[in-house]
Amino acid sequence: MNRKLVKQRSEYKWLIEKAGRMNVEGILYASEPLIEGMDDKVAEQVRNVASLPGIVAASYAMPDAHWGYGFCIGGVAAFDPSQDGVISAGGVGFDIACGVRTLHTGLKASRIEHLRTQIADKLFRHVPAGVGSTGKLKLNQQRLDEVLEGGAVWAVEQGFGTKEDMRFIESGGRITGADPSCVSYEAKKRQEEEMGTLGSGNHYLEVQKVVEIYDEPAAKAFGIELDDIEISIHCGSRGLGHQIGTDFLKQMTVAAKEAGLELPERELACAPLHSAVGKRYLGAMRSGINCALANRQILTHLVREAMADILPQANVRLLYDVSHNTCQEEEHEIGGKRRKLFVHRKGATRAFGPGRADLPVEYRPFGQPVLIGGTMGTSSYILVGTERGEKLSLSSSCHGAGRQMSRTAATKKWNGKDVARKLEQQGVFIRSSSMRGLAEEAPGAYKDVSEVVEVSHQLGLATRVAKLVPLICVKG
Amino acid sequence: MWEHFSHPADIGIRGVADTLEDAFAQTAYALSAVICDPQTVEPLEAVEIRCESLDVELLLADWLNSLIYEMDVRKMLFSRFDVSITGLQLTGEAWGERIDPNRHKITVGVKAATYMELKVARNEKGLWTAQCVVDV
């Protein structure tokens, strides 16, 4: 990034001062090398978001930020409905409630050492992944409405998991205010056969080993010890969410044009929270969140079935489930006052500090688990939300490594088979339906996740609890 | 002519042709080439597409998003496209077949055609370019 676009305020904080049409300042959290690697467009997008009506506090970019659609990926912005605040379909993204769920297995690494090939093959066979894959469930439009209202709670009612699982999911596994009547026929049609599927691209199912503990008390509360085997699922609301994003991006673009709202770029299309389009999007987007929560719940059930088949003593329980593409109604303190805000997190993770009622009682004294996915060859991290994060970033942190190389460049540089072979030499067993897809997702195409996490930790957006390395990675 | 262009997180698709219709068809071919090699897709079955939009750029996004929708719900891949545009109304046909994992080497699914780098323009030589970034 051109340094003239930002002013360095401290080692990890960079400012875009309020100017022109900006309603608030822009704040980027990054180290020197991360700022160096960021596209100029990130600064432009942070500035553009700062100019939207009703924005409060600041327009933020997390350490893994990169050029996105309207909002940068890694963008956080909160809007006050009482100040004509807006909601933006681009600010949530096409993969509504894409997120990470991490599961305990109750197993130590030594227990699965000789079974790694077997587990990898079983998970790959048992969990539908990749383009064109379908789930075992076929749901008509009416039954899908039940999913969209019920989220993971609906999935448990169908026998996919236990009530206890719900305590460890953001919003208790079901977000209120979902309105399936705001979701188009086409969006539901895309989901009829996609419940319980992983998807493709950067989505994955990973078996991981805990290799480092940084914060003993928090790790103990989260139930993590050295050498534990955890399983993480990264995916979202599948075709339904993508279609809601497509439908409302268009509707908001038309509404903005009709309202005479000038947008710096079309992807910033938004609508006042109080408007008819804004309300409809909120009802649809929340339906998308519930769809994603139900999807990850069904995938958890499939993981349990697969593990029970190979290791009946495995006890698969939820550590936590948190989305990183959402707009959520939350209370935050702004200027000494508690205010109800709509917080957009586009490729950013909610990171509540201690005491929040939404957290499971055993985590509440410590804060929320923040699940950071790495790449196939690097580490993933579990962080914990902090009290400081509330003031710094409206309780938000990074979401992953963030790409540093385009997919086209990655496929020119690497070959999928070589990527898989090298990873296997490093001890990571890869199962994927797409070799070219593997090249696009090669670890070198991503930023250094440890550097991204270091910035979050040093600033206190969310602090390190544990580091995990991949042993098996299933990709679509 | 079609091509892919670089974007930090996703992929740009571009079609260039003598007519607006062919540029739209070429961009659709570039979309298919994100997902797999379109040369491996037999044009066995046609799907009809109709869309209407506020302007020609949004019409391109609508056309591509309609194709993404049809591929998703029919579990199909496309390799041939016929496009006809009158004003801001498009009627088209996409020809292809159902996904066969044994013959089609799939790279990645496409979530949506975005409005990023969305452009439809004619240059001084009369060539039409139609492009956007797709979210994968």
Q: What is the ipTM of this complex?
A: 0.94
C-alpha–C-alpha distance, residues A71 and A46, integer Å: 7
Closest approach of A329 to chain B, Cα-based (Å): 26
Task: Give every CB contact of residue A459 below 8 A, 6+ residues apart in sequence.
Answer: A12, A13, A29, A388, A392
User: Per-residue DSSP letters for A302-353?
Assistant: HHHHHHHHH-TT---EEEEEEESEEEEEEEEEETTEEEEEEEEEES-EE---
Residues of A in contact with B118 (CB under 8 A): 266
Report pLDDT digits (tens) over B15-25: 999 999 999 99
Interface of B to A at Cβ within 8 Å reads 4-11, 35, 54, 58, 61-62, 65, 68-69, 72-73, 75, 99, 101, 105-109, 111-116, 118, 133, 135-136
CB atoms B111 and A249 under 8 Å: no
Q: Please check whether residue A330 is in contact with residue A351, taking contact to mean a CB–CB distance below 8 angstroms.
A: no
B106 with A406: Cβ contact below 8 A: no
d(CA A346, CA A86): 15
Partners of residue B109 in chain A, C-beta under 8 Å = 130-131, 199-201, 476
Sequential pLDDT tens for chain B (136 residues) = 999 998 877 899 999 999 999 999 999 999 999 999 999 999 999 999 999 998 999 999 999 999 999 999 999 999 999 999 999 999 999 999 999 988 999 989 999 999 999 999 999 999 999 999 999 9
User: Does residue A72 sit at the B interface (CB-CB below 8 Å)?
Assistant: no
Residue B63: closest C-alpha in chain A: A246
- Write out the two tokens for A35: 């700022």
A412 located within any domain: no
Chain A residues in contact with B6 (beta carbon < 8 A): 406, 408-409
Which of B55, B67, B73, B120 is the best mutation test for A, with the most CBs of A within 10 A? B73
- A384 pLDDT above the threshold of 80: yes
CB contacts, 8 Å: A404 with chain B: 8
pLDDT band with cut points at 50, 70 and 90 for residue A16: very high
Report the alpha-carbon distance of residue A154 to residue A292 in Å, rounded.
12
Angle, to 10 degrees, between the axis of helix A238-258 and the axis of helix A276-310? Answer: 170
How far is the alpha carbon of A94 from chain B, nearest alpha carbon, in Å? 7
Q: Which of residues 133-162 of A touch B (CB under 8 A)?
A: 134
For residue A185, tell me if it sits in a domain. Answer: yes
Residues A106-132: what's their mean pLDDT? 95
For A88, A98, A184, A358, A445, the CA distances from A285, given in Å and listed in that order, are 10, 12, 12, 20, 30
The dihedral through the CA atoms of A83, A350, A252, A185 has a sign that is: negative
| Pairwise CA distance, residues A266 & A20, whole Å | 19
- Between A190, A265, A476, which is nearest B73 by CB? A190
Residues of A in contact with B73 (CB under 8 A): 189-190, 192, 239
Q: Give percent above pLDDT 70 in chain A.
A: 100
Looking at residue A260, its pLDDT comes to: 78
Q: Do the chains contact at A408 and B5, CB–CB below 8 Å? A: yes
Give the pLDDT confidence score for residue A261 in this predicted structure.
77
Give the closest residue to B92 by CA, choosing from B44, B43, B51. B51
CB contact under 8 A, A250 and B61: yes
pLDDT reading at A450 higher than 90: yes
Which residues contact residue A98 at a Cβ distance below 8 angstroms, ignoring those fewer than 6 apart? Answer: A203, A234, A235, A236, A237, A241, A292, A323, A324, A325
User: How many angstroms separate the CA atoms of A369 and A99, rounded?
Assistant: 13
Phi, psi of A411 (to 5 degrees): -70, -25
Has residue A438 been placed in a domain? no
Fold observed for domain B2-135: Archease, Possible Chaperone; Chain: A; domain 1 (3.55.10)
Chains A, B: CB pairs < 8 Å: 116
Q: Which of A94, A130, A408 sits opposite B11 (nearest CB)?
A: A408
DSSP state letter for B26: H
With CA atoms as reference, the chain A residue closest to B37 would be A436
Closest-CA residue of A relative to B7 is A406
Q: Is A266 helix (H, G, I), strand (E, B) or coil?
A: helix
Distance CA A131, CA A410 (A): 20
Which residues of A are part of the catalytic machinery? 399
| Burial call B99-136: b when 16+ CB within 10 Å, e when fewer | beeeebebbbbbbbbbbbebebeeeeeeebbbbbbbbb
Residue in this structure with the two tokens 């895309």, named with its chain if needed: A190
Average pLDDT in chain A? 95
Please, which pLDDT band fits residue A132 given cuts at 50, 70 and 90? confident
**pLDDT at A355 (0 to 100):** 96
**CA nearest neighbour of A141 among A82, A193, A177:** A193
Tell me the pLDDT tens digit for each residue of A305-339.
Answer: 999 999 999 999 999 999 999 999 999 999 889 99
Cα(A259)–Cα(A55) distance, integer angstroms:
19
Instruction: Check if the beta carbon of residue B20 is closer than 8 Å to that of residue B88.
Output: no
Residue A274 scores a pLDDT above 90: yes
Res A447: pLDDT? 83
Q: Is residue A409 part of a domain?
A: no
What pLDDT is attached to residue A256?
Answer: 84
CA distance A410 to B107: 13
Q: pLDDT tens for residues A427-449?
A: 999 999 888 888 988 988 888 89
Interface check A246 vs B, CB under 8 A:
yes
For A90-111, letters b (16+ CB in 10 Å) and e give: bbbbbbbbbbbbbbbbbbebee
Q: Which of A71, A133, A195, A242 to mutate to test the interface with B (most CBs of B within 10 A)?
A: A242
pLDDT > 90 in chain A, percent: 86
Contact with chain B for residue A32, Cβ under 8 A: no
Cα(A62)–Cα(A74) distance, integer angstroms: 5
To test the contact with chain A by mutation, choose from B106, B119, B132, B133 the residue with the greatest count of A C-beta atoms within 10 A, namely B106
DSSP strands (E only) in B71-110:
76-86, 89-98
Check: CB of residue A475 under 8 Å from CB of residue A443. Answer: no
The shortest C-alpha distance from A118 to chain B (Å) reads 23
Q: What is the pLDDT of residue A402?
A: 79
Torsion of CA A312, A315, A320, A325, to 10 degrees: 10
Answer whether A69's CB lies under 8 Å from A76's CB: no
Q: Within 10 Å of residue A413's Cβ, how many Cβ atoms?
A: 12
Answer positive or negative: Cα dihedral of B56, B62, B65, B66: negative
From CA B114, how far away is CA B65, in angstroms rounded? 9
Which A residues in the span 405-464 are in contact with B, Cβ-Cβ below 8 Å?
405-409, 433-437, 440
Residue of B nearest to A446 (CA): B9
CATH number of the domain that A462 lies in? 3.90.1860.10
Q: Is residue A242 part of a domain?
A: yes
Count of the separate structural domains present in chain A: 1
Q: Are A224 and A382 in contact (CB under 8 A)?
A: yes
Mutate: best of B50, B114, B117, partner A, most A CBs <10 A: B114
In this complex, the residue of A66, A95, A265 whose CB is nearest that of residue B8 is: A66
Among the partner residues A94, A190, A254, nearest to B135 by beta-carbon distance: A94
**Per-residue confidence (pLDDT) for residue A140, from 0 to 100:** 94
pLDDT computed for residue B2 by the predictor: 97
